[in-house]
Amino acid sequence: AGYMGREHEERIVASGNHFLIKGKINSCAKVIYAHDDNGKLISSCFGCKVSDLPVKHNIRRRVDMIADESGRQLRIIRAKNRTRDDDSEVFAYLRTSLPRLKASAFQIHQLYRLRWIVELFMKCLKSGNSLQGINSSKKEIVFFWITISVLSSVLKSIFAKLSLHHNKSSFLSLLKVQQSPLFEGFFLKMLRLKDSAYYEARNKLLKLIASNCQRTKPSHKLKDVILLLKSIIKNRTITKWSLGI
């Protein structure tokens, strides 16, 4: 995957929004000032390249920097992330337009760790809800197709939750549910069937979901997500150092 260009970042900010993206490791931006997780200035980083901080700071979990990048000031957070393969730790460089008054380095790091949820959701939309291609350049048609795709995904998730409760199942695979052919034609039938016939068809669908969409291995990601969200919400961002006091 490529990296977002500076022009794209500037367009996002100009539109009144914020960005949080992963930057290149070999960034040539120079540190104007830097803080640790406790809000203390790290003067030994001043003037260094973002990608070449003094070795003694490699033990730090996060370094929150304002850097100069070709005349533009940018907030960059260097944070340690675990790799999937060997569980080792590598540095990630997170570029953001969010000011420290709105989000601490800890919060931004945790938000970035939640990116896999977005990736999984997009995979579900593309592979199970017909979002893989829209043959139109009209904004209204594209927006309508995205809306229908998201609605389809939400309905499938609702029936998956009902299946868990109805059949007392332990674990279901979200991806299997979204890609399952079990829903083909069901949503249209749902609009035409009378109550008794609908509940009969629904109960049959719930049983099929329970038997065909089981996870082969329980996942702790949902628990991790809840813990991450709680930690992001509880982390205080308005402190003396974030106000510059």
Residues 52/66, Cβ–Cβ less than 8 Å: no
pLDDT given for residue 58 in this prediction: 85
* Residue 183: closest CA among 197, 168, 202: 202
pLDDT given for residue 221 in this prediction: 56
Q: CA-to-CA distance for 116 and 49, rounded, in angstroms?
A: 29
pLDDT given for residue 186 in this prediction: 86
Beta bridge partners of 144: none
pLDDT tens, the chain, 245 aa long: 457 788 899 999 999 999 999 888 877 899 999 999 888 899 999 999 998 888 888 888 899 999 999 899 999 999 988 766 656 788 889 999 999 888 889 889 888 888 777 888 888 888 888 887 777 888 898 899 899 999 999 999 999 999 988 887 668 888 899 999 999 888 888 888 888 888 889 999 999 999 998 887 655 555 566 676 777 777 754 444 444 43
pLDDT given for residue 222 in this prediction: 52
pLDDT given for residue 171 in this prediction: 80
What is each CA distance from 157 to 12, 105, 121, 178, 206, in whole angstroms?
A: 31, 33, 11, 8, 12
Helix, strand, or coil (residue 27): coil
pLDDT given for residue 84 in this prediction: 63
Residue the block writes with tokens 């973002």:
50
- For the entire predicted model, the pTM comes to 0.67
Helix, strand, or coil (residue 192): helix
